[in-house]
């Protein structure tokens, strides 16, 4: 009886040990891993992406990243001492072979390809070429317009000139009508002018003779005083004799002088007085008037005798056309 009890206890102890080891092995066995996200993307999603992106811009880098993630996961699982079923091993082997076959292929690392860079360069060159073309065309249009304005006839007449009433150096009353039918050049000044007026009147006298010699045109030179207080008829008569026999001297009252100066847009003003000796600031301009006593052109101080004579002849010829 005692022997039977001892044998039963040993059998129970062995059964208990077997059950314990079976439970321990069951707990230690790892679960079968499910397919990873990288495997699903690689085997299912990537063929669709390859169809949608035929040129593969940035695609190879994406595949390489996914394969690297998949390989790292598989390697970590193997190093931990666990194995996968045969079906997973087959997939792993296929992935390894595919990775090895893609190792020698070049991978494009960015979304910008040589084709897009070339298109960008061509577009920039086209824009620069178009801008230069439009700029040159605009400059040519401006030059053409300026030349047309210079060469074409004047649109209107300058508001210079008008009726006046003065006294000539012979003491006779004259108006603008006394100069009709003649080409006239008018200069404004005063007899006490120290240098500018004498220089300009000498230039005018020489130009009158030169015009007559070169073209046979008679010009009537006229001098109008802007100093009515000192330039009397006698003073003007003695003054104009010093320059040219055809030079006509004109003077008048302060109001008459003011009116004619306003009509011809002439500026004049007395400077500081020292007793009776003073100067008069005034415009230094010669006015070419047509036989109708209409303004044609003015000539400034910068003209010499030759340019003044040539300019007057040119204007007269153009006026007669």
Binding-site residues for Cu cation, in ranges, read 193, 197, 282
Pairing state of beta strands 295-299 and 183-189?
unpaired
Tell me how far apart the alpha carbons of residues 293 and 291 are, in angstroms, rounded to a whole number: 5
DSSP state of 202: H
- Nearest Cα neighbor of 246 from 294, 211, 280 is 211
Reading phi first (left if > 0) and then psi (alpha if -120 to 50, else beta), residue 56 is in: left
Tell me how far apart the alpha carbons of residues 5 and 9 are, in angstroms, rounded to a whole number: 6
Reading phi first (left if > 0) and then psi (alpha if -120 to 50, else beta), residue 162 is in: left
Q: Which residues are annotated as a binding site?
A: 193, 197, 282
Tell me how far apart the alpha carbons of residues 60 and 31 are, in angstroms, rounded to a whole number: 33
Query: 265: which residues sit within 8 A by CB, 6+ positions away?
Result: 159, 160, 283
Give the three-class secondary structure for 162: coil
């Amino acid at each position: 009886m005692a022997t039977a009890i001892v044998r039963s206890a040993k059998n129970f102890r062995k059964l208990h040990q077997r059950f314990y080891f079976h439970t321990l092995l069951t707990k230690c066995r790892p679960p079968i891993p499910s397919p990873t996200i990288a495997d699903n993307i690689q085997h299912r999603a990537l063929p669709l992406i390859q169809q949608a992106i035929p040129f593969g811009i940035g695609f190879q880098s994406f595949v390489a990243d996914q394969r690297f993630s998949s390989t790292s996961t598989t390697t970590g699982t193997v190093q931990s001492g666990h194995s996968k079923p045969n079906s997973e091993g087959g997939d792993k082997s296929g992935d390894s072979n595919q990775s090895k076959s893609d190792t020698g292929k070049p991978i494009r690392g960015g979304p910008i390809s040589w084709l897009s860079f070339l298109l960008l360069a061509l577009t920039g060159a086209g824009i620069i070429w178009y801008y230069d073309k439009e700029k040159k065309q605009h400059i040519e249009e401006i030059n053409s317009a300026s030349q047309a304005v210079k060469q074409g006839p004047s649109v209107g007449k300058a508001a210079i000139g008008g009726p006046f009433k003065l006294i000539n150096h012979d003491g006779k009353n004259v108006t603008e009508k006394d100069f009709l039918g003649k080409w006239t050049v008018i200069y404004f000044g005063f007899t006490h002018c120290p240098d500018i007026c004498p220089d300009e009147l000498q230039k005018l006298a020489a130009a009158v003779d030169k015009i007559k010699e070169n073209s046979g045109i008679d010009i009537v030179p006229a001098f109008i005083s802007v100093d009515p207080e000192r330039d009397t008829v006698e003073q003007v008569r003695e003054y104009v004799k010093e320059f040219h026999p055809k030079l006509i001297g004109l003077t008048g009252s302060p109001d008459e002088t003011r009116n004619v100066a306003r009509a011809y847009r002439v500026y004049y003003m007395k400077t500081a007085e020292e007793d009776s000796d003073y100067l008069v600031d005034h415009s230094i301009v010669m006015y070419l008037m047509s036989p109708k006593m209409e303004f044609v052109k003015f000539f400034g101080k910068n003209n010499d005798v030759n340019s003044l004579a040539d300019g007057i002849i040119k204007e007269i010829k153009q006026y007669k056309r």
